[in-house]
A = this chain, B = another copy of it.
Amino acid sequence: MSEKKSPIRPSVMYEILEGPFYALKNDVVNFLLHHKPNLSEQFTKDEYRTHVLQVVKLLADKGYGALAFDKAYGGENALNKYMAVFESLSKVNLNYAIKYGVQFGLFGGAIHSLGTKYHHDTYLKDTGTTSLLGCFGMTETGHGSNVKDIETTATYNHGDGTITIHSPTKSAGKEYIGNALHGSVAVVFAQLFVKNINHGVHAFIVPYRDKNGNLLANIEVKDCGYKMGLNGIDNGRLWFNQIQIPKENLLNKYGEIDAEGNYTSPIQNANKRFFVMLGALVGGRMCVGLGGINAAQVAMATALKYAMRRRQFKADEDKEEEMLLIDYPTHQHRLLPLLVKSIVYKISLHQLCAQFHTAQEDDLRKIETKAAGLKAIATWLATKTIQECREACGGKGYLKENGFADLKADSDIFTTFEGDNTVLMQLVAKGLLTDFKQAFNDDGFLATIKYIGEKIGMTLSEFNIYQARKTSEEHLMDDTFLSETLRYREKKMIVSLADRMRAYVQKKVPAQEAFLKSQVHMVDAARAYIERLAYRNTVEKINTLPASPEKILLEKINRFYALSLIMDHRYFYLESDYMDGSKTKAIRKVYSSVMADMYTYLPELIESLGIPDELTTIHP
């Protein structure tokens, strides 16, 4: 192994990796370290839920609950600070993060984003202090990914101007609803019927408990019971049997019933309205992606610290000591690529949060696409990383006291909630195809496809594919080569997706079926796009940094990241003749030497993740 090359200052690196709110993040983590329950114990769900609720109340007391709301309601209008708190909670205990997210992000966020002044004035202050606890009733037993077709109805009564919320079937029950047991008010998503016309999904404030916590009549709440993890969250199911609410309880930013009982909306197209309303979820998706990454980094820091002290097998009979786990090449190959991926995805998610914070309405669709894709890629990485780290700690990783059990079980659902990852990746691909998606139903479809095919085709020719056999280390480590190689994969996959669709359309395959037949390809293209996005975002981040050893390290991290992607997808480059076998072999060699270099920075890099020792202890 080569010697260390530069003096990394972990505190400087930490600030770079965590972004603007690093100090707030430190505060939150340190504040909660003392409240954290003993990992080695098992709790009943009631005990655990009570504890988690107490923690969230403590956070509210410190003013963290209302951060995203306006000043009038105790907040700072700072969604980015809210996200920073969410991230920090994810390091300490994912239950804290999720409970916090449900109360302030989903329940409070829905009122904030979908409601108007009346709703803000009525609910936000109490929500921020937790004197009002609420839940977010979107998912139903029958409809999770397909929110558009949920069954719950909200029928406007012209007689008395009220609205009736109703669950027409058992499968219309609101499902997996966090805060269902502790809460007393729900934001319920339902199909709004006015004069027998369905205006699509809208959100309504529906109280379901009285001041004393007793369930109101004709409402059923059922505990979801024990789950794989997150047993500190009180997930439940809710059914409504003809529940009357005042018309004012419609969160009416994007849809309203006027005094004459007519439906009005600032967005005429029902489809568009639906997607704008669901856009309220985008912050949640970024949070879930970041939560997964933070949990993965806790697992990673734990496994790496353990690997740097645990010894097994002598390298040589003459040696006094056995070898450190971290010195095994297989161990480095298991962990280091996952470590750099987590770092790069976190940077990318932070960039997106910052964009979102200052975004104009027109930017939102692109931000949503990116958030969906980064959420999926980040949470899949989290699941994989936590698993790999557990295995890398052997039997010790299996004992509850050492943390992996909770990290794994609690984070497992991240690939599903706030959007199933596979479904999200298709959203991303559809976003990429947007330019000709519209044309799908037009006569101009073929022309559009052809145009786009040619446009990207031209772009492709920019790449010097004569470099397919160039194998010098200098070339392979060159940022232009890396960046163009990632770009080639993204563009090529979109072209080939478009080609495939064109062929289906020529064969008169209906549009939906063409999408279906291209589904696997779509997910791959979306991955190529998002993986490259994270690389580009990290380049942008690097470009903002003054020259320093830490900047150099981040460059190395991004280079290692790019090489690991090329390794992951080398079949693609070979299959499309972008590289030949001599080149992929040379890349493997460079990849190993870059990994060996990264190894020399490990102690400082682990410290830069900003995870206190209390969270990364393997008990002897």
Stretch at the interface among A394-402, A484-492, A545-553: A394-402
CB of A358 within 8 Å of the partner chain: no
Which chain B residues lie closer than 8 Å to A570 at the CB level? Answer: 571, 575
Which chain B residues lie closer than 8 Å to A146 at the CB level? Answer: 312-313, 322
Do A391 and B408 touch across chains, with their CB atoms under 8 A apart?
A: no
As a 0/1 sequence over residues 456 to 468 of chain A, the CB contacts with chain B under 8 angstroms (1 = contact) are: 0000000000000
Do A42 and B44 touch across chains, with their CB atoms under 8 A apart?
A: yes
**Interface residue from B395, B416, B584 paired with A398 (Cβ < 8 Å):** B416
As a 0/1 sequence over residues 397 to 426 of chain A, the CB contacts with chain B under 8 angstroms (1 = contact) are: 111110011001100110111001110000
Do B409 and A391 touch across chains, with their CB atoms under 8 A apart?
A: no
Do B329 and A519 touch across chains, with their CB atoms under 8 A apart?
A: yes
Which chain B residues lie closer than 8 Å to A333 at the CB level? Answer: 520
**Interface residue from B44, B416, B574 paired with A394 (Cβ < 8 Å):** B416
Which chain B residues lie closer than 8 Å to A42 at the CB level? Answer: 42, 44-45, 226, 231
Task: Tell me the chain A residues, 132-165 only, with Cβ under 8 Å from chain B.
Answer: 139, 141, 143-146, 149
CB of A516 within 8 Å of the partner chain: yes
Do A520 and B145 touch across chains, with their CB atoms under 8 A apart?
A: no
Task: Give, as a whole number of angstroms, the nearest-CB distance from A226 to chain B.
Answer: 4
Do A519 and B330 touch across chains, with their CB atoms under 8 A apart?
A: yes
CB of A225 within 8 Å of the partner chain: yes
Which chain B residues lie closer than 8 Å to A328 at the CB level? Answer: 516, 519
**Interface residue from B227, B404, B417, B519 paired with A400 (Cβ < 8 Å):** B227
CB of A228 within 8 Å of the partner chain: yes
CB of A175 within 8 Å of the partner chain: yes
CB of A224 within 8 Å of the partner chain: yes
For A517, give the chain B residue with the smallest CB separation.
B329
For A391, give the chain B residue with the smallest CB separation.
B415
CB of A315 within 8 Å of the partner chain: yes
Q: Please, how many angstroms separate the alpha-carbon atoms of A224 and B168 in the complex? A: 50
Query: How many copies of this chain does the complex contain?
Result: 2
CB of A472 within 8 Å of the partner chain: no
As a 0/1 sequence over residues 505 to 547 of chain A, the CB contacts with chain B under 8 angstroms (1 = contact) are: 0000010110011011001000000000000000000000000
CB of A7 within 8 Å of the partner chain: no
Do B399 and A412 touch across chains, with their CB atoms under 8 A apart?
A: no
CB of A390 within 8 Å of the partner chain: yes
**Interface residue from B175, B231, B387, B404 paired with A395 (Cβ < 8 Å):** B175
For A327, give the chain B residue with the smallest CB separation.
B516
Task: Give, as a whole number of angstroms, the nearest-CB distance from A146 to chain B.
Answer: 5
Task: Give, as a whole number of angstroms, the nearest-CB distance from A295 to chain B.
Answer: 15
CB of A614 within 8 Å of the partner chain: no
CB of A366 within 8 Å of the partner chain: no
Which chain B residues lie closer than 8 Å to A41 at the CB level? Answer: 226
CB of A170 within 8 Å of the partner chain: yes
Which chain B residues lie closer than 8 Å to A44 at the CB level? Answer: 42
**Interface residue from B170, B399, B517, B581 paired with A227 (Cβ < 8 Å):** B399
For A518, give the chain B residue with the smallest CB separation.
B329
Q: Known contacts A312-B144, A313-B145, A413-B395; is A226 also within 8 Å of B523 by CB?
A: no
**Interface residue from B404, B575, B577 paired with A228 (Cβ < 8 Å):** B404
Do A390 and B405 touch across chains, with their CB atoms under 8 A apart?
A: no
Q: Known contacts A42-B42, A400-B227, A571-B571; is A390 also within 8 Å of B417 by CB?
A: no
CB of A3 within 8 Å of the partner chain: no
Do A576 and B571 touch across chains, with their CB atoms under 8 A apart?
A: no
Which chain B residues lie closer than 8 Å to A421 at the CB level? Answer: 391
Do A520 and B330 touch across chains, with their CB atoms under 8 A apart?
A: yes
Task: Tell me the chain A residues, 286-322 only, with Cβ under 8 Å from chain B.
Answer: 312-316, 322
19 extra A-B contacts, CB within 8 A, seeds A42-B42, A228-B404, A394-B420 = A141-B620, A144-B394, A144-B395, A145-B312, A145-B313, A145-B394, A146-B312, A146-B313, A146-B322, A149-B314, A149-B322, A170-B620, A226-B400, A228-B390, A228-B398, A329-B517, A391-B415, A408-B412, A575-B581
Can you offer 18 A-B residue contacts whose CB atoms are under 8 A?
A40-B225, A42-B44, A139-B395, A144-B312, A144-B395, A145-B313, A146-B312, A146-B322, A149-B314, A170-B620, A226-B399, A226-B400, A226-B405, A228-B408, A316-B513, A409-B409, A571-B574, A575-B581
Please report A residues at the B interface, Cβ cutoff 8 Å: 40-42, 44-45, 139, 141, 143-146, 149, 170-171, 175-176, 224-229, 231, 312-316, 322, 328-330, 333-334, 383, 387, 390-391, 394-395, 397-401, 404-405, 408-409, 412-413, 415-417, 420-422, 510, 512-513, 516-517, 519-520, 523, 570-571, 574-577, 581, 584-585, 620
